[in-house]
Amino acid sequence: MSFPYHHTGNTFSVAIDGSLFQTDKSNPNWDRIVAAVDSDEVSGEELIALIRPIERIATAVAGRVPNVEVQGGNLLVDGEPVHNVLATRVLEVLEQGFSITRWLRFVENIYANPSQTSQEELYLFLENHDMPIAEDGTFLAYKVVDADYKDLYSHTYDNSIGQTVVLDGGRAACDSDRNRTCSNGLHFCSVSYLSGYGVGSVQPNYHFMVVKVNPADVVSIPSDAGNAKARTWRYEVVGELDPVDIPGIRWAAIDTEFTANIEDDDWDAPDEPEADYPDDYEGLTDREGLGLPDPEIETHLGKLAFSAFKAAVEDCGNFACYARSIGVPPGTVRKWAARFRKFGCAI
């Protein structure tokens, strides 16, 4: 059914069931809202979900993912608001029928990037990036290489399918200054950058590769070229595309072609060693008051005492902040907390 509305070109107001709903052109669903308002096939509930996408997310995650919530119109992960580009991505994931856990892996990999500046710059790239998230929380991008599958600059890095390419010198050797637009690092790009390489026609001197990049490894987004190219210190080459076909490719929100399936219940953290929990500790909640010892767990970073863990998390304010301070995904910290709960210790 159609609804009474007012459309100025930059703002939009519509009356649905006696209530007024407003939005503007910054809404990621803007084009769909304008098209839907006169459609007889769009219900009031569906139109509200387009105008207020955060409510669509809230409905989708309610009771399903404990560390994702909506408060005050903001999407939060581990108590912290996420960037708008991530909220837009989760809508695409949900609308295409994919599990939200794929998106969560992606968010946690972004938060695992040791540089806050790199995280913020990555959002600039992702705003105009049309390629999908991979199922393990990485994302796909384009890489142009020479006729021998070597990089175009040094002609030494092998970019054949299956290769994990690592920059000599590691992350420290990758230039983090986005104002040095042509500098050291392993480069990848979005589709808009490919126009300079004749994409859309046969190009015998180039190969157009698909690379899988972990957001945690991205170092810089150079300030030129409309944020369409990027520098990282490693990536995996997972496929090759015909340049004639690239302009017509429409990617799904989640890739299932170039990356392997990952089970949903294994999304949130690397495996940690199992601990031998004494029966005496099960269910105890006031360890200090009962004179019980401070329990420790083994992690990939070494031994961790509950008292130190609790103090660090409380000092940082939440799991995500603490995870960033020590360079691990928030899911790893949540696993540590779950293991401490087996001792009866909770934060």
Across 166-175, average pLDDT: 95
Q: How confident is the model at residue 269 (pLDDT cuts 50, 70, 90)?
A: very low
The rounded distance, in Å, linking the Cα atoms of 217 and 163 is: 16
Instruction: Identify the pLDDT of residue 266.
Output: 40
pTM above 0.85, yes or no: no
Instruction: Identify the pLDDT of residue 291.
Output: 52
Instruction: Identify the pLDDT of residue 170.
Output: 94
Across 196-213, average pLDDT: 91
130 CB burial (10 A radius; 0-12, 13-18, 19+): exposed
Half-sphere exposure of 160 (CA within 13 A, CB side): 3
14 CB burial (10 A radius; 0-12, 13-18, 19+): buried
In whole angstroms, how far apart are CA 187 and each of 134, 271, 328?
19, 30, 24
Joined together, the tokens standing for residue 37 give 């308002």
* pLDDT, tens digit, 9 for 90 and up, residues 57-94: 776 666 666 667 777 667 777 777 778 788 778 878 87
| Percent of the chain topping pLDDT 90 | 28
The rounded distance, in Å, linking the Cα atoms of 93 and 132 is: 10
3-class SS of residue 139: strand
Q: Which residues contact 285 (CB under 8 A, 6 or more apart)?
A: 344, 346
- 110 versus 261: which is more confidently predicted? 110
Joined together, the tokens standing for residue 244 give 């004639």
Average pLDDT, the chain: 80
